[in-house]
Structure 1
Amino acid sequence: MARRGVSARASGQSPLQAIVKKMASTNDPLPGGATVLDGSMAGELERRGVDMSTPLWSAIALRCAPDAIEAVHTSYLRAGAAILTTNSYQATAPGFASLGLSEQEASELIATSATLARRAICLWRAAHPGPRLWVAGSIGPYGAYLADGSEYRGDYALSPADYRDFHRPRIAALAGGGVDLFAVETQPKLDEAGAIVELMAREFPGIWAWVSFSLRDGRTLADGTPLAAAAQWARQQPNLLAVGINCVPPRIVEQALGVLAAGTDLPLICYPNSGESYDPSTKSWHTGGEHPGIAEFVPSWRRAGARIIGGCCRTTPHDIAEIAHRLRAEG
């Protein structure tokens, strides 16, 4: 993987293109440089009997159901995912403190999320040789810790220093656990994303990251910031390998990708939810009618510039398999 300060960009090759080239060194998993990301962790854990009703959401499984986490990772590898995200989106030291865990115990659990993903890859590759697979350390926003749907509104405010202090322990634990890159995801606020990326560049300079935002609509972050401003910001960050959106309805992805592509030459990433709507008061999802399968949108997303494509909440290994199949067909 290209590291910060290495000449990937200077030579005209983006960090992500370097990753894809390395992944394809034995046999190209997908034509055209597209990479498949995994899908929802929480939904698959729930199907395996894990209670998602606590404020820790899927992170509770790090303590009570680690085998189920590993099984979910394996299901996405079977579906064709080349990047696994760790089950650490809502895993934070303050969150685990509510269970009476010390900061050290919380750090160990967060690091376990990387270990589980890495072990799933090792076991999978032992039986299915092929290109390298990757572990992305999930960094959810402060709003996810609040467990009230704030990541879809961005109606909270901390200072840059407070954001850095909140996110630092999880980032350090994931780095210590051996992630290949960071997934700074479902970010509703540009100032929080900026504080996180600055922290990573300063204290963890050997690890690249992507940032993906939650949106109000196809042109606006969840807190009201123009998406175009986020694109302009992203192009200035030396440690970003991609920028994009996640956990948004599939119908607004193409427009959002167009806004991002107009403002940055970074590779783009998208992993929307199923198209259902979330009710934070009941912690439940509602369909609101029929929705096209997520894979049906893939050709338009590729044309709009997406280079990493996967799924977020309420998507399944079947969805990821369909995405992988559609990308191969589009090759």
Structure 2
Amino acid sequence: MGTGSTVILDGGMGRELQRRGAPFRQPEWSALALSEAPQAVEAVHTAYIESGANVITSNSYAVVPFHIGEERFAAEGQALAALAGELARRAADAAKQPVLVAGSLPPLFGSYRPDLFDAARVTELLTPLVTGLAPYVDVWLAETQSSTVEARAIHAGLPKGGKPFWLSFTLKDEDTDEVPRLRSGEPVSEAAAVAVELGVETLLFNCSQPEVIGTAIDAARESFERLGVKINIGAYANAFPPQPKEATANDGLDPLREDLDPPGYLHWAADWQKRGATHLGGCCGIGPEHIAVLAQKLA
């Protein structure tokens, strides 16, 4: 994974669990398999590694009260996060090539809902995740972030002077004013400046339509050039149609877009690479077969 090479990330966990017949339903989403079929989670990690992923992400995305409920989170949140970390680590350690484990730090109050952010509860929800994951992960990945406020809050709650911090924002899917924006409405150029301030090693865009990612990569690259910093840029898009305004991610199981089969997705990822993205993978609905094509064609 030297400089100048493309780092291949994994794809989505939840849909892949469902496709394999693992326990999977709302509202627990991908957290259900952690307690009911941990071997299925490890098998998905392994499938991505065998497809050529250099980085796999812990299955801790749904380990928040929004998905598993307040009571269960209070009782088991840290243990579930630790299990998510351990399963990913085990798969990575068994790999033939070096594989990094990214510790997924999700939106703490629900995906796509910057309006639900509650600063007073960040420590209570973040600490069990960080404590559980810490022994197993190589980098911290705050993903599907809708606002810079939450990104700052998560960064502030991480152990100091430790592992690299990766930050991934989700974008507004409807590009009405030509300026790429986070779901909070903040321009990507401002979010990139915050990433610089936080010492982010890799800035990514995920859980959005492929169509809106290219301009976001351009905006981030231009911001970094203007600020004279070197920060990796990456992307991992969704394969489901744009969500209605009032939706939270994973409200239901949307049908996947037929045009985003592996060759269709490769078309987008190749464009992101041309624009300067060095870290490429997939989010909801992008599976091991997609990652295999990216690894083959872009790595």
2:142: which partner in 1?
184
TM-score, normalization by structure 1:
0.79
Could you list the per-position Cα deviations for residues 186-217 of structure 1 after superposition, in whole angstroms to 9, with x for gaps in the alignment?
001110011111222xx343111111111114
**What is the Cα deviation at residue 84 of structure 1?**
0.5
Which one of the candidate residues 198, 212, 227 is aligned to 2:156?
198
1:93–1:169 Cα contact (<8 Å) kept: no
Q: Secondary structure of the equivalent of 1:38?
A: coil
Structural mapping, 1:1-331, within 5 Å: 20-21=1-2, 32-92=4-64, 96=68, 98=70, 100=72, 103=75, 105-125=76-96, 130=97, 132-144=98-110, 151-159=111-119, 161-176=120-135, 178-200=136-158, 203-216=159-172, 217=175, 219-238=180-199, 240-264=200-224, 265-278=230-243, 280=247, 283-287=252-256, 290-291=259-260, 293-328=264-299
Distance 2:218 2:116 in 1: 28
2:240–2:254 Cα contact (<8 Å) kept: no
Distance 1:94 1:273 in 2: 20
Taking structure 1 as reference, are residues 220 and 124 closer, same or farther at Cα in structure 2, changes over 3 Å only?
same
1:244–1:260 Cα contact (<8 Å) kept: no
Does 212-221 or 181-190 show the bigger shift? 212-221
**What is the Cα deviation at residue 168 of structure 1?**
1.8
Give the letter aligned to residue 92 of structure 2. I
Q: Secondary structure of the equivalent of 2:235?
A: strand
1:4: which partner in 2?
none
Bigger Rg, structure 1 or 2 = 1
Which runs of 5 or more residues in structure 2 are unaligned? 225-229
Please identify runs of 4+ aligned residues in structure 1 that moved more than 6 A: none
2:206–2:283 Cα contact (<8 Å) kept: yes
**What is the Cα deviation at residue 163 of structure 1?**
2.2
Give the letter aligned to residue 88 of structure 1. S
Give the letter aligned to residue 194 of structure 1. R
Distance 2:197 2:74 in 1: 37
Q: Secondary structure of the equivalent of 2:234?
A: strand
Distance 1:320 1:309 in 2: 9
Give the letter aligned to residue 138 of structure 1. S
Distance 2:15 2:257 in 1: 18
TM-score, normalization by structure 2:
0.87
Distance 1:142 1:306 in 2: 27
Distance 1:124 1:168 in 2: 29
Distance 1:277 1:51 in 2: 26
2:227: which partner in 1?
none
Does 85-94 or 182-191 show the bigger shift? 85-94
- What root-mean-square deviation, in Å, do the aligned CA atoms of Structure 1 and Structure 2 show? 2.2
Which runs of 5 or more residues in structure 1 are unaligned? 1-19, 22-30, 145-150
The total of aligned residue pairs comes to: 283
Q: Percent identity?
A: 32
**What is the Cα deviation at residue 228 of structure 1?**
1.1
1:92–1:110 Cα contact (<8 Å) kept: no
Give the letter aligned to residue 212 of structure 1. S
1:185–1:211 Cα contact (<8 Å) kept: yes
Give the letter aligned to residue 195 of structure 2. A
1:53–1:283 Cα contact (<8 Å) kept: no
Distance 1:83 1:263 in 2: 26
Q: Secondary structure of the equivalent of 2:201?
A: strand
Give the letter aligned to residue 152 of structure 1. Y
Taking structure 1 as reference, are residues 101 and 140 closer, same or farther at Cα in structure 2, changes over 3 Å only?
closer
1:234–1:243 Cα contact (<8 Å) kept: yes
Taking structure 1 as reference, are residues 41 and 100 closer, same or farther at Cα in structure 2, changes over 3 Å only?
closer
